[in-house]
Amino acid sequence: MARAQFDRNNILDKSIQLFWKNGFSASSMQQVVQATGLKPGSIYLAFGNKEGLFREALNYYAQKIIVQIRSTLDSAPGVGEGICLFLESIIRESSQKNYCSCFLIKTQLELAAEESELYDIASVKLVEIETLFQSYLEKEFTKTESQQRVVSLMIHIFGLRIYGYRQGSAESMREGLREGLPWLPWTHKISSRATLVT
């Protein structure tokens, strides 16, 4: 059987938008076909089934976030400034009209009640993101301080992703982050430089 010819990343981007909006269970194969522009046979040949496509979409989305975190923190004057920039990018994204929260977190929330490989993948990717932040924090803080601060940081990121989806102005979210994460260098002007990769 001939291999399907298409831009895989483009298909994954389109699939993520569909799954992000509807979730895994509520996205039918007909909707996947419409969103991607692929024929069912091409989808099955390339990804196996809807679950296979969703699995690859989760991995692809997580990798993009990891690349963004590395790029943001590596280019910032310090780790704290880089984290502020990353948090600002989430605020800016959550202020957009069609904001859908975090694909990994939404997957966890949707599939939490069932034993699912997809839930496990989302969980593993979130742990990878937490471990990445901790590795950067350890450049400026002790291991114990880094472990404590990364937990606080992840709690705030989760909260920001959910809270920003429903309510709260950008400035009120910034104020909440300053209050909850006082060890970050909030005195730096960050809003004009922060851009989220989606």
User: Which pLDDT does position 170 carry in this prediction?
Assistant: 84
Proportion of the chain above pLDDT 90, given as a percent: 70
How many degrees, rounded to 5, is the angle at CA 113 between CA 107 and CA 117? 55
In the predicted structure, residue 121 carries a pLDDT above the cut 60: yes
Q: pLDDT digit string (tens) for 142-193?
A: 999 999 999 999 999 998 888 765 555 888 889 999 999 999 998 755 444 4
Q: What class is the 8-180 domain?
A: mainly alpha
Say what the pTM is: 0.86
Q: Tell me which amino acid residue 61 is.
A: Y
- Among the ranges given (36-40, 128-132, 161-165), the one the predictor scored with the smallest mean pLDDT: 161-165
Assign 1 a pLDDT band (cuts: 50, 70, 90): very low
Domain ranges of the chain: 8-180
- Classify residue 7 as left (phi > 0), alpha (psi -120 to 50) or beta: beta
User: Which pLDDT does position 4 carry in this prediction?
Assistant: 53
Cβ pair 17, 101 in contact under 8 A: no
Give the integer Cα–Cα distance in Å for 149 and 23.
31
